[in-house]
């Protein structure tokens, strides 16, 4: 099946730093999404991208849908303690017939 390669696996950063993570695929997706999961919770949608080249922001978060449709990145500016968690990219094909394919996640740890 399809696989998403998400990197880095983990990040140790200082509060206030900017964060960048990305996701690549060997196949094309028509939709890219970014979710965040806190401990003991289910994933929560952060940003959804529907067009190749699209750049979308949600507060301090910015995500882009790669022009090749095979990648996406997520940036977090001026990180704060509540940004700690696991960030997942997810891809979906047209029609949503196959459910979402998730990356393995980027574990963000913020050092005070």
Q: Please pick, from the candidates 14, 59, 82, 95, the single residue that binds another protein as defined by CB under 8 A.
A: 95
Q: How far is the CB of 97 from another protein (least distance, A)?
A: 5
C-beta of 44 vs 67, nearer to another protein = 44
Q: How far is the CB of 108 from another protein (least distance, A)?
A: 16
* Distance from the Cα of residue 80 to its chain's centroid: 17
Q: Is 100 in the site for another protein (CB under 8 A)?
A: yes
**Structure token digits, residue 32:** 């890219």
Enter the tokens of residue 31.
């939709």
The torsion defined by the Cα of 100, 63, 28 and 92, in degrees rounded to 10, comes to 20
ω into 42 cis (within 30 of 0): no
Chain residues in the site for another protein (CB under 8 A)? 1, 31, 33, 40-45, 48, 88, 90, 92, 95-105
């Amino acid at each position: 099946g399809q696989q998403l390669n998400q990197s880095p696996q983990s990040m140790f950063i200082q509060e206030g730093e900017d964060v960048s993570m990305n996701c690549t695929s060997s196949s094309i997706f028509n939709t890219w999404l970014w979710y965040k999961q806190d401990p003991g919770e289910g994933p929560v949608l952060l940003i959804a991208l529907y067009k190749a080249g699209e750049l979308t922001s949600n507060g301090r978060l910015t995500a882009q849908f790669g022009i090749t449709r095979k990648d996406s990145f997520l940036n977090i500016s001026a990180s704060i303690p509540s940004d700690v968690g696991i960030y997942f990219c997810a891809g979906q094909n047209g029609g949503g017939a196959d459910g979402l394919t998730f990356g393995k996640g980027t574990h963000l740890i913020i050092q005070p």
